[in-house]
Amino acid sequence: MLTKRIIPCLDIKDGRTVKGVNFVDIRDAGDPVELGAAYAAQGADELVFLDISATNEKRKTFAALVKEIATYVNIPFTVGGGITCLADVAPLLEAGADKVSINSAAVKNPDLIDELAKAFGSQFVALAIDARKVDNQWIVHTHGGSNPSGKKLFSWAKEGQSRGAGEILFTSMDHDGTKKGFAIDPLAKLHELLDIPVIASGGAGSMQHFLEAFVLGKADAALAASLFHFGELTISDLKKYLQTNGVPVRV
């Protein structure tokens, strides 16, 4: 059985790690280089770096900061934010990224998924989907969650897979930062619909929430930010808990 992955996420704004609730009320969470190094040492399976203001500010991801973080981590490193075309990727690869995460640009131009998968392989492409429930439908939002796109979560995830995305990073905007648990029902439905891994994001507040994401939501990986950033939970303790409860993890 494949091991489940625990992934800390560094949301970056102005060179600092930040965290909000429901994509607003952003507060500082520390130095991204120090946090990245600490998570690698704690046993994180991967690290995600998201430049959350790059798209809205119409600029590219800070490759220099990516390079600095990559110097201190020896685990797979996914980078996202402001990637709009094939040419944006080479500087990030050179800086040390192992995968890229695309979101708003893929919604605007779905062919970008095909282009990246063809150029670098599906395993290199993570399709990030930010969605919230609107009139009982999970609607995809772009530009840091500020713009409803009209696309629906499940059909967009299936299209992403068919175009070559290697995994789906699903963030429930309704659960993000609330620490009330992951969005279990849509996670389980994504698992049923897709053949590629699904990463759960948004809502982690306890070790039990991770267990629920893996057992009930059938997620392949779970991502969290504030829970780790503010020292409420260590990755090593979380993995011991999951292992004790029958979830296969790398220790």
Annotated catalytic residue within 11, 45, 88, 176: 11
Report how far apart the first and last C-alpha atoms of the chain are (Å, whole number): 15
Annotated catalytic residue within 45, 51, 88, 130: 130
| Strands 167-172 and 147-152, sheet pairing | unpaired
Residue 130 appears among annotated catalytic residues: yes
Identify the three-state secondary structure at position 194: coil
φ, ψ for residue 223, nearest 5 deg: -115, 140
Exposure class string for 106-132: b at 16+ Cβ within 10 A, else e: bbeebebbbbbbeebebebbbbbbbbb
Cβ count near 21 (within 10 Å): 13
Mind giving me the DSSP string for 124-171?
GEEEEEEEEEETTEEEEEETTTTEEEEEEHHHHHHHHHHHT-SEEEEE
- What tokens appear for 111 in the block? 């062919």
- Element housing 229 (H / E): helix 226-229
Helical pair 207-215 and 235-244, crossing angle rounded to 10 deg? 50
φ, ψ for residue 3, nearest 5 deg: -75, 150
Pairwise CA distance, residues 20 & 38, whole Å: 21
Q: Would you name the residues annotated as active-site residues? A: 11, 130
